[in-house]
Structures are given as structure tokens and as C-alpha cells.
Structure 1
């Protein structure tokens, strides 16, 4: 069966979102253009890395092209709506690609499906007939910044990290590796330093 590449050249919406409670969330990226909606499943770390790489690419674009390209440095995400439903997963993301299309002055995000075979990097951002299914989204610099801003908020909206080991804190308790498995009891009222 030949490869399917879902291309969104002028998406009305491209966002990161989650389903589930903190500690048990599934992360999705969703693209919407006209009547088409595609949702792909990925890991929290992939969302975080994609947001970081988009920010780095925007900084590089601003450095190289200056004011020729509006990178929207002061833009704040105005899209705080949940993912569109029904939420139907097209595929799970394995490989991600990112690039700059000078002709359309767009950042191109490509998400490739997980596959058992090793993905040749020549397949990323290419229309070859062989390879995993893909979602390719063209974003203006402003849309890219809005995506990165929302993605960072979605990632950080989970469980708070432990101040000692940075592992997520569970409502049921936390066994901290930095304390050799002992629970830390913090005397909130003792700020005088009497125990020192």
C-alpha cells in the first residue's frame, strides 16, 4: 500500500492538546483546514522537543532574514480551546521533521508514523511513494510561535515536579530517589531554623 501524506498548506488550526488526567494524559497534535481534521498521537517529550525546535528555528529565521519575516515575537497564543471532537487518531508519531520553505515563507512541520523499518532521513519532507504515512503542516511564523507557546503550556500543565528529584509528584504521595525512598516531611511552621 502506498504512503499517505496529509498536507495542510493553510491550516485554520494546528495545536497540541491532551486527553485524560495529569499523570495519565495522551498527547495529540491536531490540524484543521476546511472540513479536514487530522489528529496524531505522540509522547509528551516529543511535544516539548517540537516546541523547543520551532522556537530555535524562529530565532534563526529572525537572525538570517531580520525584519523581512514577521516572526511574531510578542504574540501570545489566543487558542485555548480543547481539541476538536470526535478525536480519531490517524497514527502514532515516530519521526518528526522541521524546515523553512522560503517560497511560501512558512515553517514546515512533518510528523511521520511509527514504523518497524528504520526511516531514511530522505523520506522526511519528501513526497516519495515509499515510507511511513505523514502529516505535513505549513505554518506562518506567527502560527508557529502560537503553536510553540500553547505546546509549552500543555506540557507544563501536568503534575508538578518534585523540588529535589524533578520527578512528577503524585496525589497519592511521592517516593523521592534523592531521599533514598523516604518521604520528606517539611515542617511548614518551623522557619526559625531551630533545628539547625
Structure 2
């Protein structure tokens, strides 16, 4: 059976965003074309890594590749997007594996997000990774370099808008503070 492909080539909008208060946020990747909206939930670390990898890919392209279009070093101001996620936010699936590539023919960043499948990841008896199975769904987004840089910039703001990090242990500090392992159990406050 062929997987359902949620393709956006290119999207009208592609952003990372959150729902919920700091410490209880759910992170989403959201793409829209016209009235079609797809939202995929993921972990904060996945947003951070995806943004860093996109940024690194674009930096490498600026240095090495001969492209027909200009790869911006920073996000173009006219592509900045500070609006909230679009409603309704209905999770298509939870993100598992993601791939990132550059399509040199169309000069686009290509992001593929596959659903997390705990049962397919590890064999309970052996603890070994199982052969990959065909996913039921795929979230596919193709972005110009400028839009990709704008995504990176917004993703960084979204991730940093949460709880502040403890300067000693790096763990998140709640409004009520946290027991810092590097401060011998003394409670640190935000």
C-alpha cells in the first residue's frame, strides 16, 4: 500500500510553533497551501536539530555549490513570520525519522518527516533494530533557500521562548525553581 504523502511544493507557509505554557509545550511543524493545513507534532530537540541542519546545509551551499539562485546568509526580512500556528491544529502524526536534502535541479531544500513507530524501531526480544517498514504517511516540504532561512530563525525563537536554562546544570528552570544537581541540591529560581 502506498503511503499518504502530505506534499507542500512549495508551501504558502511552513513554520515551527508550540501550543501550551512553558514546561508543557507541544511542538509542531505546520505547513499550509491555500486551505490545506498539516500539523505534525515533534520533540523540542527535533526542532532544534532540524533548524541547525537546515542552517548548516545552506551555509555549505553558500561556500561550495554553484547555484542559480542566491542563498541568503540570514533570513530575508520580508519572509519573517511571527504569527501563531494556524487553527485548527490537528496532529496528523508524531514525527519520528526526518530527512533533509538539497534538490539541485529545483534549488530547493527538501524535508521529509516520517511517523514515529515504536513497534517498528526495536525488537523486544533481541533489542536490535528491525528492518525499516514502509511508512503509512509522509510529510514532504520543499522550500526555497530564503524560506528555509526564515524557518531556521523562527525555530530558534520558538525553542528559546520556553523555560530559561539553569546556568549551572543546563536543565530547565520552572517558575517555582528547580533542584540543581550541580549546586548540591540548592533550589535555583528563574
Q: TM-score range by the shorter chain?
A: 0.7 to 0.9
Partner in structure 1 of residue 154 of structure 2? 150
Partner in structure 1 of residue 127 of structure 2? none
Runs of 4+ residues deviating >4 angstroms:
none
Aligned length: 178
User: TM-score, normalised to structure 1's length?
Assistant: 0.84
User: Please, what is the CA RMSD of the aligned residues?
Assistant: 1.9
Name the CA distance, whole Å, in 2 between partners of 1:117 and 1:133.
Answer: 14
Partner in structure 2 of residue 81 of structure 1? 83
**Which whole-Å deviations, capped at 9, do the CAs of 1:15-48 have from their partners, x for residues lacking one?**
0000000010000000001221100000000000
Shift of 1:74: 3.2
Q: Is the 8 A contact 1:114 1:132 kept in 2?
A: no
Partner in structure 2 of residue 159 of structure 1? 163
Partner in structure 2 of residue 48 of structure 1? 48
Shift of 1:132: 3.7
Name the CA distance, whole Å, in 2 between partners of 1:152 and 1:48.
Answer: 7
1:103 to 89, 102, 105: 105
Structure 2 unaligned blocks of 5 or more: 122-129
Partner in structure 2 of residue 126 of structure 1? none
Structure having the larger proportion of residues in strand: 2
Name the CA distance, whole Å, in 2 between partners of 1:67 and 1:18.
Answer: 34
- State the SS of the aligned residue for 1:71: coil
> Larger C-alpha radius of gyration, 1 or 2?
1
User: TM-score, normalised to structure 2's length?
Assistant: 0.87
Name the CA distance, whole Å, in 1 between partners of 2:136 and 2:96.
Answer: 9
Q: Judging changes above 3 Å, is the alpha-carbon distance between structure 1 residues 65 and 131 closer, same or farther for their aligned structure 2 residues?
A: same
Q: Is the 8 A contact 1:13 1:31 kept in 2?
A: yes
Name the CA distance, whole Å, in 2 between partners of 1:120 and 1:48.
Answer: 27
Q: Is the 8 A contact 1:61 1:69 kept in 2?
A: no
